[in-house]
Amino acid sequence: MIARTVHKLFWDFDKEERWLNEMAARGLNLVNHRWGTYEFETGTPGQWIYRIQFLEVEARKPASREYIDFVTETGAEPVDTHTHRVYFRKHAADGPFELFTDLDSRLAYYRRILTFYSTFTWMLVMLMVVAVSKVVNLAEEAIGRFWGLPIFIPYVVLMVVFFTHMMRLAKRVRELEARRALEE
């Protein structure tokens, strides 16, 4: 039974994971996630530990299914999958639950996310340049100057959000690389 539905957007997987674990500590356990809508059921506070994995390929692909099955064999269960993300949970009573066993795997994970966001951001930039210039030109001919400004502002905000997140991810990658260099 769904006890609570929360609408919330996250760009940062770590923040999303912390939030899910805070909700679990309050007895709200994730049962479904779709595009910023989280559905929770009531349970025992602190019963579950949640982890999110950003997969190399979509969750429905065989390579990702193999990985999901591998993690499931460790006692975790997949709660939900969404494109490249899979939400796992494991009983807190079973002890710590980590998806990364070493620094190199964590570094590869953040590089994969950074590459994904970078590619997506540059595609949005290209789309924005073409679409906004066409719309602004058409609008200026039909209505007059500056009509395209309200269309341009949301694109700029979206670009700032994506670039900011990319910079945070790049900083994490640099920190992990520095940490690895110290350990060698």
- For the stretch 41-88, pLDDT in tens is 998 898 999 999 888 878 788 888 888 888 888 889 999 888 888 899
Shared domain for 25 and 79, answered yes or no, is yes
Count: domains in the chain: 2
Shared domain for 11 and 88, answered yes or no, is yes
pTM of the model: 0.72
Quick one: tokens of 131?
């679409």
Quote the domain boundaries for residue 112. Answer: 103-183
Shared domain for 108 and 157, answered yes or no, is yes
Please compute Rg for the chain using Cα positions.
20
Q: What pLDDT, in 10s, does the model give residues 115-173?
A: 877 777 777 777 777 766 666 666 666 555 555 566 667 777 777 777 887 888 888 88
Shared domain for 26 and 49, answered yes or no, is yes
Shared domain for 114 and 50, answered yes or no, is no
The C-alpha atoms of residue 12 and residue 1 are separated, in whole angstroms, by: 28
Shared domain for 88 and 107, answered yes or no, is no
The residue out of 32, 66, 94 marking a domain boundary is 94
The residue out of 41, 63, 94 marking a domain boundary is 94
Shared domain for 113 and 160, answered yes or no, is yes
Q: For position 89, what pLDDT does the model report?
A: 92
Above 80 in pLDDT, residue 36? yes
